[in-house]
Amino acid sequence: MADSSERLTTSTPTTAVLLAAGAGTRLGLGPKALLPFRGRTLVEVLADVLIDGGCRDVVVVLGADSARVRAATDLRPYTVVENPDWATGMGGSFRAGVAAAAPVDHVLIALVDQPGLSPEAVARLVAAHRPGRVTAAAYRDAEGKLQRGHPLLLDAGLRAEAAETATGDAGARAFLQAHPDLVDLVDCSDLSGGEDLDSPDQLHLLDPGPD
């Protein structure tokens, strides 16, 4: 039986892709990456969350006001790429992030507008992932039914095909719709509601919580 060090060596690592390129137009406060959260910026906190959850690297994809985001944050521990076509939607940022991740890694796609994301949720997805599959965080709706959300962990063998189908404002949506049999849902309802921060009435999601 392999010891723990051998298991770590032979298992496929995960690189996170943090999509942070949007202008935050609906929210009206500038790029969501720069929203204040826990004494820092949202993009910095979530990048740390992804590392703390077990990802070996984070690719941060910037777009709108990228120079201002770079100047106002310390993202030096991470791989930062820019999507010059960020205004065309999430698809381009998805492709840029996947392309920048280590080629042999699984890829975990996370959104910068999910302040409820925790290291526990990330670790739960990484632990639940099965080879050749897609592992998605899921949250229960008002009727108690699980609904697929983010983050989303793409197996290393599936990431290229998923990226090829990412266009417009869709990330992996077309790929997931074409391959529903590959998707495993992981209930994270006990950790978060999985909400995206899209409108001013959701700013309460940025209320200080435990570090």
Pick the CATH number of 12-196 from 3.40.718.10, 3.20.20.150, 3.90.550.10, 3.40.50.720: 3.90.550.10
Centre a 10 Å sphere on the Cβ of residue 145 and count the other Cβ atoms it contains.
9
Tens-digit pLDDT profile for residues 116-144 = 999 999 999 999 999 999 999 999 999 99
**Structure confidence at residue 148 (pLDDT):** 94
To which H or E segment does residue 197 belong? Answer: none
Residue bearing the bigger pLDDT, 167 or 97 = 97
For residue 119, give the nearest of 203, 30, 53 by alpha carbon.
53
Q: d(Cα 140, Cα 157) in Å, to the nearest integer?
A: 29
pLDDT of 209: 54
The full set of domain ranges for the chain reads 12-196
Beta bridge partners, 147, equal 139
Length of the chain: 211
8 band by pLDDT with thresholds 50, 70 and 90: very low
Residues 89-103: tens digit of each pLDDT: 889 999 999 999 999
